[in-house]
């Protein structure tokens, strides 16, 4: 750095007659800094803070500047908001979020890092993560790595320092929107907008991309340190075939904790093969996307109904609704979070539930004899079904939670009781 000082000029600061002020020296200082060939100041090439280097472009034309973490590149997906206060790692690994950007309404994310015990599947299937504030440090005794490193290793994009409240209001008013995340400066806003308007998630089979490829046995139960509702469980074993439409590990753990021996099969597993296995019951699991886009799964459900007790969760609930003759529809912005109130119409009790779905069953389209057992108290949508004549039960939400409250865990015991009665009446 060069420093040049001009000839000093002296002046008097006071103009009071008879009073002489101390001289004040005025200097003109000219500084120059040598620049490197690329124009960056030597030793000052990187700012000590991160600047906005990413954009979220929504199909409505709005552009949201943000800072990136995790992977880089360009990705398209449907933007949904999740109101859970905790459990971001379980959300990241929930296969039901395939094809979606998850916006967390809780502003502070990443403070507990990630660990390898809380994963709900073997990989992250979501398209990206949108948050307000990324924690600069982690503080948890189980933390194995930071959220940013975790996403980068799995090639998942994330952005922060974006107004998540404003985006959430937009989604609530206008419904779920297709968006594009990009860190590529060479791509223009118009190019990203065109990409968002040329892609759609409706009618796409997302299940086949998240399902297992071959059957396997599941034996792990909920660990003793985390288990609950342990008293009074039936010691009788029940053999279950679980269709993997994007199944979460904790659904399997809860069933195992209730005494079930589980064989997990792919989404396209033939119903005839399931019946040959002679299980005591069948679980149709949660999964991503539009139930109308997977007619093969609906046909599988139809072939099993009336022959074995069945339990449908989330996507499984919607497939049951269609198999029974009902219709499903896409909701305005869906249900995503761990704080949704549901009324059990049989008992009158209200449960706080964990939910993740963009589609619902139209109860008016269901045939006579099908009972609506649960209702979402936020919007009155169908949250549970039963058809006692065929030993059918289903829930639109997640009784295993993870993350979320355990109010609905009793549903696994009800499934066990359903299989027990069917066995006794056989």
- Residues labelled catalytic: 314, 398, 400
Q: Which of 76, 103, 79, 78 is nearest to 91 (CA)?
A: 103
Q: Which of 259, 228, 247 is nearest to 285 (CA)?
A: 247
CB-based contacts of 213: which residues, under 8 Å, 6+ apart? 266
CB-based contacts of 134: which residues, under 8 Å, 6+ apart? 67, 69, 109, 110, 147, 148, 158, 160, 161
Q: For residues 406 and 228, is the Cβ–Cβ distance under 8 A?
A: yes
CB-based contacts of 1: which residues, under 8 Å, 6+ apart? 31, 32, 33, 34
Q: Strand 216-218's sheet: what is its strand order?
A: 216-218, 260-265, 238-243, 281-284, 310-313, 392-395, 382-387, 371-376, 327-344, 350-362
Q: Which of 365, 273, 293 is nearest to 324 (CA)?
A: 365
Cα end-to-end span (Å), the chain:
92
> What's the token pair of residue 283?
């679980």
User: For residue 58, is it left (φ>0), alpha (ψ between -120 and 50) or beta?
Assistant: beta
Q: For residues 285 and 362, is the Cβ–Cβ distance under 8 A?
A: no
H/E element, 273: helix 271-276
Q: For residues 65 and 55, is the Cβ–Cβ distance under 8 A?
A: yes
Rounded to the nearest 10°, the torsion over CA 312, 385, 360, 406 is -70
């Amino acid at each position: 750095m060069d420093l040049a000082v001009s000839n000093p000029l002296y002046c008097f600061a006071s103009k009071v007659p008879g009073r002489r002020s101390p001289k004040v020296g005025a200097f003109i200082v000219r500084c120059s800094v040598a620049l490197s060939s690329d124009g960056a100041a030597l030793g000052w090439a990187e700012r000590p803070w991160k600047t906005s280097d990413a954009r979220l472009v929504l199909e409505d034309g709005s552009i949201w500047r943000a800072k990136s973490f995790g992977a880089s590149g360009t990705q398209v997906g449907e933007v949904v908001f999740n109101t859970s206060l905790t459990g971001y790692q379980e959300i990241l690994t929930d296969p039901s979020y395939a094809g979606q950007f998850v916006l967390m309404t809780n502003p502070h994310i990443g403070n507990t890092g990630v660990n390898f015990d809380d994963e709900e599947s073997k990989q992250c299937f979501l398209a990206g993560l949108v948050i307000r504030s990324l924690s600069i440090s982690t503080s948890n005794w189980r933390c194995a790595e930071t959220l940013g490193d975790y996403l980068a290793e799995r090639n998942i994009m994330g952005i922060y320092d974006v107004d998540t409240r404003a985006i959430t209001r937009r989604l609530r008013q206008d419904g779920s929107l297709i968006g594009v995340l990009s860190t590529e400066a060479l791509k223009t806003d118009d190019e990203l907008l065109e990409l968002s308007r040329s892609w759609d998630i409706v009618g796409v089979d997302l299940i086949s991309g998240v399902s297992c490829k071959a059957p396997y046995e599941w034996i792990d139960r909920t660990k003793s340190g985390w288990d609950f509702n342990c008293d009074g469980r039936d010691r009788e074993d029940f053999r279950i075939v679980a269709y993997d439409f994007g199944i979460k590990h904790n659904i399997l753990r809860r069933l195992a904790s209730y005494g079930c021996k589980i064989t997990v099969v792919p989404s396209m597993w033939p119903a005839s093969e399931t019946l040959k296995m002679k299980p005591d019951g069948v679980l149709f699991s949660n999964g991503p996307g539009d139930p109308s886009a997977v007619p093969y799964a609906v046909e599988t459900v139809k072939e099993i109904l009336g022959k074995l007790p069945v339990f449908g969760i989330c996507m499984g609930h919607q497939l049951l609704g269609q198999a029974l003759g009902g219709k499903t529809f896409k909701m305005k912005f869906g249900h995503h979070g761990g704080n949704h109130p549901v009324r059990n119409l049989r008992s009158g009790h209200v449960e706080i539930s964990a939910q993740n779905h963009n589609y619902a069953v139209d109860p008016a389209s269901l045939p006579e004899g099908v009972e609506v057992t649960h209702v979402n108290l936020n919007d009155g949508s169908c949250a549970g079904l039963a058809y006692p004549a065929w030993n059918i039960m289903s829930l639109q939400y997640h009784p295993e939670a993870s993350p979320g409250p355990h109010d609905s865990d009793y549903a696994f015991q009800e499934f066990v009781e359903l299989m027990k009665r069917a066995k006794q009446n056989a």
